[in-house]
Chain A
Amino acid sequence: MGHFMYGVAAWVFLWGLYGIVSSRNLVHQCVSLAILQTSTYVLLLGIGYRTGGTAPVFADIPVGTLVVDPIVQSLMLTDVVVEVTVLALLIAMVVKANELAGTVDPEELRVLTG
């Protein structure tokens, strides 16, 4: 597969970044951030993958079988749940911004109010 998977990670990352930069809606911006973060999953899977390797669970295979790297999988596992809760926090901020400023367009959120 060569470096193709890393290219996919970079591609997804840059599109997520483009979404954040060009966004005219805070909800859209949060979704763009989520997409940007999924590029890390592709990258981690690419780093940990081994040709011919199976899942690193030795419930029904003998120890010593060729498996993919368990450490990057562990990193991903916690990443996924944390992403969702951070997204929930961001969306809560959007709801509050809409309530206080009456808009979800980041361009129009210019003034700090107490």
Chain B
Amino acid sequence: MIRAWLRSWLFLPAAIGMAGLLWWAYRALPQVGDSRSLYGDYIATNAVGERHATDTVNAVTYDYRGIDTLGEEFILFASVIGVLLLFRRQPGHPADTSEAHEDEQIEETIPPTDTIRVTMQGMVAVMVVFGMYIASHGQLTPGGGFQGGVILATAALVVYLGGRVDTFKRAVSHPLTEIAEALGAGGYALIGASAFIVGAAFLTNWLPLGQTGQLISSGTILLISLAVGLEVTGGFALLMHAYLEEVIKQEGGE
């Protein structure tokens, strides 16, 4: 108790010092609204002509800064793997429960009302279409793989919210989400490596760029965006699987 109190009081001078340093650093930055970034200017003027992608944010994410996004995608991948690793079933562990116990638990769950179920079914269809639209139009309008993937994963969550754990398990197949996750992560790296075919450097946008404003355009940006969409959908759905398993295990263990 005294330790927490002491820690809070030690934090006070540290926070004041930190605030002073931040103030010092931020004062040297240009005023909000006045920023002039050479790279930002370059992208804003040239990205559309060079990459035939009208959304310059995604041109940066999936092309100019593609190798960073690859790294960030693997942070996502590693986090999901970490969660799966932590929640894996260990034989002999006190929290380990048998399959029979799990079925029992599902039987006991109160079924959702018809209102919730019908609303959910309507919402899921719209969300899946919208998620695919956002994921595939990233090169044209705001959106892309990350956003579309999150919307698709939310659709999977709505299945659970409106249904039951077994509905979720039937609708969102566990092996399929694993395959999506792996394909997404591997696909990104492979699209990057495919530039070697034409003798270009890793992640070079070597495919035909197409006509600006068309759905099939911007070369590898579209493909990478779709791979990221797959990865994010799979990763988030896997997280949901892991947490739902854990909830069943905890409730069953009591």
A residues adjacent to B (C-beta < 8 A)? 1-7, 9-10, 13-14, 17-18, 21-22, 24, 46-51, 55-59, 63-64, 67, 69-74, 77-78, 80-82, 85-86, 88-89, 92-93, 95-96, 99, 107
CA distance A102 to B212 in the complex (A): 58
- Closest A residue by C-beta to B84: A92
B4 cross-chain contacts in A, Cβ below 8 A: 22, 24, 107
Interface residues on B, range: 35 or more
The total of interchain contacts (Cβ-Cβ below 8 angstroms) comes to 162
Whether the Cβ atoms of B32 and A57 lie closer than 8 Å is no
Once bound together, how far apart are the Cα atoms of A9 and B147, in whole Å?
24
Query: Which residues of A lie under 8 Å from residue B110 when comparing CB positions?
Result: none
CB-based contact A96/B86 at 8 Å: yes
Please name 28 pairs of A and B residues whose Cβ atoms are closer than 8 Å in the assembled complex, sorted by A: A1-B32, A2-B32, A3-B31, A5-B32, A10-B22, A14-B22, A17-B15, A22-B8, A48-B37, A48-B40, A49-B33, A50-B33, A50-B35, A56-B43, A58-B56, A69-B35, A70-B57, A70-B59, A74-B58, A78-B69, A78-B146, A81-B76, A82-B72, A86-B79, A89-B79, A93-B86, A95-B246, A96-B87
State the majority secondary structure of interface residues on B: helix
Looking at the complex, which one of B19, B35, B80 makes contact with A10 (CB distance below 8 Å)?
A: B19
